[in-house]
Each structure stands twice: as C-alpha cells, then as structure tokens.
Chains A and B, each alone.
Chain A
Amino acid sequence: MAENSGTDPAVNTNADENAAKGGTIIMVTVKTPKDKEEIAISEDSSVAQFKEEISKRFKAKQDQLVLIFAGKILKDGDTLNQHGIKDGLTVHLVIKTSPKASGGSTSQASAPSPGVSSSNRSTAGAGNPPPASTANQSQGTGPSAAPAQPGNLLSGFGDLSNLAGLGMGSSNFMELQQQMQRQLMSNPEMLSQIMENPLVQNMMSNPDLMRQMIMANPQMQQLMERNPEISHMLNNPELMRQTMELARNPAMMQEMMRNQDRALSNLESIPGGYNALRRMYTDIQEPMFSAAREQFGNNPFSALGGSPDGSGAQPSRTENREPLPNPWGPSESSTTENRGAGSTATTTTTTSTSGSTPSVSNPLGVGSATVGNGIFNSPGMQSLMQQISENPQLMQNMLSAPYMRSMMQSLAQNPEIASQVLMNNPLFAGNPQLQEQLRHQLPVFLQQMQNPEALSVMTNPRAMQALMQIQQGLQTLQTEAPGLMPKYIQMPMILIPGGIPGAPLSTGGGLPSETPPASAPTSTPAAGANPSQQQLIQQMLQMFAGGSQSTQTPEVRFQQQLEQLSAMGFINREANLQALIATGGDINAAIERLLGSQPS
C-alpha cells in the first residue's frame, strides 16, 4: 500500500493538511473491537493530532478516544515517532462512552436509554417491549402512561389517541397507531417519562392488583392453563414484585436480561444443555409467542414473567429470542372477530396486533372526537362504525367486562380524572384544540355512562346503528342549521363511553389511595384535582374489589353550583346546567363558558 519513502501524493485532503505539518505521511490502521479504519497521518504528528483525525473518522469526541499501541497507552503529548508508530502498523482504539456504557467501541449500543430504543441485542430488544407493554398492560395506568406506549392494547386509550389523530386528519387508524408507536419508539424519553409517572409507579408497586389484572385477561388464563409454570409465577408475589420492579426500572431490566443471557449461554455449554434449552423453547416460548401474536397484551408480561425466574428455568428463555412481534405491524391473521371474541376490552385494543382492524374502543373513541368536530363523517370513522355494527360481539365483550362497567361508572362520577387521562396522552399534547374540546365534552358523556340504559344501548348493535344514523342526521342538521343544536352533545356522547372506558381502565389500575396523582397529570386545570382524583382512585380500587357506585343526576350534584350561578345573575338555568356539566361542577370554568357564549 503506502510507500515508506517519500511524500505520498495526498491520499486524501487530510493528507494535505497533515503534510503541511511536515514529514512523510503514513497509513496507520486504527482498530476497535468492532471496527477498523485506515488513517493517513504525518509521521511526525503528535498523538493529539492523530486523535483529531480519528475523532473525525470515528465520529467520536477527541476526549473519548484512548489509543493503545504495543501495549502502551498513547498520551496526547507524545508523538507517534516516540512510540515507533510507522506506516502499516496498527493502533488499538477504545472509544469511551458514558460511564456505564459498554466497553470497547461505542458500536455496542447497549445504550443507557431505557425503554424502547432498539438495543444492540435482540434480547434486550425483546426485553424492552415487555416492560413497556407490561407497564401498559398493567395499565399504562396513569394518564400519560396509557396510550403512549407501544403495544398498549389495554387501554382503550390508545384508541382515543387515534381519535386525536383523526382530528389531525389521518383517517387510517392503523397508521395512527403506527405513528404513535413510531413516535414512542423514537422517543425513549417518553417512555421513561411515562414510567416515571407516579401513577404508573404506584400501580406497578401493587402486585396484587397487577396479578388481578393479568388474570382477568382470558388470553392469559388460557396461557396459564397451558403452562402451569406461568401461573406459578403469577402466584408468587415475590416474583411479581420483582417483575414489576424490573418493568419499572429499565436499566435493571437490561441487567437482568444480560444475566439471563449469560446464564443461558452457560447452560448451552453443558452437555445436553442445549437440548434442554431447546425443549424449553418449544414448550414454553412458542405458545407464549403465539399467544402474544394473538394478543400482544399478553406476551410482554409472560416474557417478563420469565425473566425473574433466574434459575434459567423455562420461561426465562423467552426474552432471549427474537424481539416480540411487532404489535403495530401489519396484522398477521386474526380478524377483529377472533380478537373480539373472548377478549375483554383490555386486550381488545389488540388493534395493534390486528393491525388493520380498529379495536373496539376505537370506534367509540372516534365518537368522542367527532362530537362537534365533523370528523365524525371522516372515512375512518365511518369504517369504524361499520365495523362496530358488524361486530356486535366486540362491543358486548368490551362492555361486559365487569371492571369495565365499574370503571365507567367511577369515571362518570369523576370526569376530572378522565380529562386528565386524556390530557396526558402525548399524542394529544400536540393538539391543544382537541384537548379543549375533549375536556369540555368529557364530563357530559361521562354522565351518559352512568345511565344503565346507555350501557344497554351500547351493547345492542341495532341500537348502535340507529344511533349512528341519528348522529349522522344531527351532523347534517348542524351544518345545515347551526342554531338548532341544543342537545347535540348528548347523543354522540353515548358512543364515547366505549372509548373512555379504555381510559378509565388504564387509570383504574387501582392506585393506592395515598397516591398524590395530582402531581402526575398536571395539565388539567380542574380545580380540586387532588382530592377528587384520590377519590376516584379509591373508587377504582373498590371497583376491583367488587365495586360500589352512586349515581346522581347532574342537577342534584350541581345543585349548589346552580344556586350560586343564579345568585350571580346567570338566570338561564339550562345553560347553567350545561355549563356545569361540561366543566364538571367547576363554577369558575362554567362561568367562563357561559360568558363565552354570550359575548357582552
């Protein structure tokens, strides 16, 4: 290659600069454990100059570079000559990444970034979705947690965010979900934020609750039947706690994964070990994966469940394999029906796995967005509606989930949490207008949910269809005669509960009452958010324990506020009531609302 003698005509522009420094140019190979580059440098250069070239080529900062030649570390002040570095020789390079990063070159993207970033190893990759999804399944609880996480089938939230997307113009639900996922994937920060959401954390620190939720999922139950080990795992509170701890702490997760890998690779080397592993894989992992594919909401937890089982026993193999199937990817098989049948609302959001078919909550979610938006008539919405009517099963399944019901009720009683839940949806964050609308509309339709009749309506496909027609009629009417819409809010709202249940479901993660959730969803302006939230949370908790409920009509609830309003001079009692309902009893907000509609 390069000649030893004489000035080599510039091999590259760098050589020119280097030549200016005097001396012959030599080609030195710079080698990292992963990489190898040839760098032209003047033989009289200093180590510092050499590092400059290297930092350009390897795209790393100069102070991250450590050069080794012939067993000695090259100091910046030394010269290449000093160390006898000549043409054709090799210098070893170590790129120091941040303190805890992988040794050797940075090409090992074991990245400290938690959550979803695709790690260098598939295991870590597989590990990441699980915590994310587990968190989700466990309920992306908190407001923020819910929709933002990939593979979050559980919370119908994911679907509500779709409606936000609708608001933004996209009519293709799958696209929306993919967008969401992409967004989250590319922004691991989001996930960590979500995980740090005290609501999420609180939820995850309650092992019993987690277990309940997981068990409530029929898919999971199936899985458990097939693989009794899994039920062992689930029933072991210690394990659960550990798992949740893991899910909470992505760094720990990775750590665990690595240990798993190591353990497994050790296992492999034992004679006969490989076969044992293979058996493990076929016995446990495959059913898990197929369960996962049907129901992504399941798998992450199962995979996770395997991990704490450090002994290298069965399920541990799971996360070592390829990354979990992409929940947001093109749907594999299952039609909505398959999914719908036998899956509760939680898992229904399988929309992800299904890909093409919007989940149950979707159409409903769409409903809420459409209110007053005209989005209702978007093609996406309509196809959703179609699907709803075609698959009454879905609706029924979703609504029949016991906790669904109680969720809805609790949520109805406390619209604040619902709005918070919605507001914290990262996707929503991009669309304040939508937020506004939803915030106003939430309380109203929440009221609707309290009405058992509304519930039965929702489960009746024909009724739904009729509703849809009415809604369409109303929409038309609205456009034709804008002044004639007194109760337009009411009807569409009925549809919304479907979407919302997803939300409460997530929040319902049965947070311990001590939680100060107010800290988490800070965006909600609702006055007295804290106590009411706690109240809601308690309700949710009770819900899981069997639930209690109290229903009051808005008039009764807002009796006091109504009186106050009329005392202030707002004599239009109906308008007052509407405003109060819309703002959930917040007098100040109601007043603003009233004043807004009567410019003076």
Chain B
Amino acid sequence: SAAAADVPRNFRLLEELEEGQKGVGDGTVSWGLEDDEDMTLTRWRGMIIGPPRTIYENRMYSLKVECGPRYPETPPFVRFVTKINLNGVHNSNGVVDTRAVSALAKWQNSYSIRVVLQELRRLMMCKENMKLPQPPEGQIYTN
C-alpha cells in the first residue's frame, strides 16, 4: 500500500538530506531540499562543481532533482538549471536524458541523488564532453 512504501522512501530521503548537509562524499557535488518545508521531500536542488582540466572547470552547475512517489524504486527526474552543453542534456531545457546517464538508465534502488550527481560530473570529464564549447557562465534555462 502507499503508506508502506512511503516510510522507506521518506527514510531514504531523510538520510540523503542528512548526507547532503554533512557533506558526505568528496565535496565536488552538493544536494539538498529545494524547500526546507517540503514535507514530501520531493523537490531537491543539486550542485556540481565543474571538474578541473575540463571546459567546465571553475563553474558551478545548479540542478533540480525530483524524487517521485516511487523513489527509490524509480530513478529521480533530473534537469540542469545552469545552462550547459553536455551530451545527454537537452539543449533547450536542461533536462537530462535518462538513457544517456547509466546511473539513471540502469537505476538501482541503492543509488541516490549523490550517485546521479557524481555520474553527471564524471560525464563532464569524458573525452567527448570535456572540450565542448559552453555558453557564457551564469546563464540558466528559463522553461
């Protein structure tokens, strides 16, 4: 039933919230609730620090992550807020193509928001991406 699924979900998300606040990980990505009052723990914000020695270096990329009601059984919905030119990210609205990111394409419920963010960051370091010309810093998708 819905209630039974909610407990593990909220549990999970609260855990992720705490991890985000405690800075678990290597410090290159960050995540947290978009709105602290959001009791459903659905809307999240993520931040990826552009990896060095790539075209993304020194930039901070803001993302929106949405964890639906069936999370973590289903992957979250991810989109970039900061404009970026990256394979697998729609140029027009920053939506991340689930098929392009293996963490999303082959989602497991042990994965987390952190995993997705870190994977996106890894993608930035790929040969095919690391030199893509980027829009000027600070631009965001408006839709």
Residues of A within 8 A of B (CB): 29, 31-33, 66, 68-73, 84, 86, 88-92, 94, 96-97, 99, 101-104, 108, 110, 258, 262, 266
Contacts and interface: CB of A to CB of B under 8 A. Distances in A.
A60 B36 CA distance: 31
B57 interface: yes
Contacts of A70: 17, 20-21, 30-33, 45
B58 interface: yes
Contacts of B44: 71
A102 B22 contact: no
A104 B49 contact: yes
Contacts of B65: 71
Interface in B6-37: 17, 20-23, 26-28, 30-34, 36
Given A70-B17, A84-B36, A96-B58, 6 more contacts: A29-B23, A69-B30, A72-B45, A73-B62, A102-B57, A103-B59
A102 B47 contact: no
Q: Give the interface centre of A32, A69, A99, A103 by most chain B CB atoms within 10 Å.
A: A103
Q: Give the interface centre of A71, A92, A108 by most chain B CB atoms within 10 Å.
A: A71
B135 interface: no
Contacts of B59: 103
B56 A103 contact: yes
Contacts of A32: 27
Interface of A is mostly: loop
B53 A258 contact: yes
B32 A94 contact: no
A33 B45 contact: no
Contact of B50 (A86, A89, A103, A110): A103
30 contacts: A29-B23, A68-B49, A69-B21, A69-B32, A70-B17, A70-B30, A70-B31, A70-B32, A70-B45, A71-B20, A72-B32, A72-B62, A73-B47, A84-B36, A86-B21, A89-B22, A90-B21, A92-B23, A92-B49, A94-B49, A94-B58, A96-B58, A97-B58, A99-B58, A101-B58, A102-B52, A103-B49, A103-B59, A104-B52, A110-B53
Nearest to B130: A262
B28 A33 contact: yes
A258 B22 CA distance: 33
Contacts of B101: none
Contacts, number: 92
A103 B57 contact: yes
A90 B57 contact: no
B51 interface: yes
B58 A102 contact: yes
B114 to A, nearest CB: 10
A72 to B, nearest CB: 5
Q: Give the interface centre of B22, B23, B59 by most chain A CB atoms within 10 Å.
A: B23
Nearest to B18: A89
Contacts of B33: 70
Contacts of A73: 47, 60, 62
B76 interface: no
B44 to A, nearest CB: 6
Contacts of B52: 102-104, 108, 110
B46 interface: yes
A69 B60 CA distance: 13
B21 A71 contact: no
Contacts of A66: 60
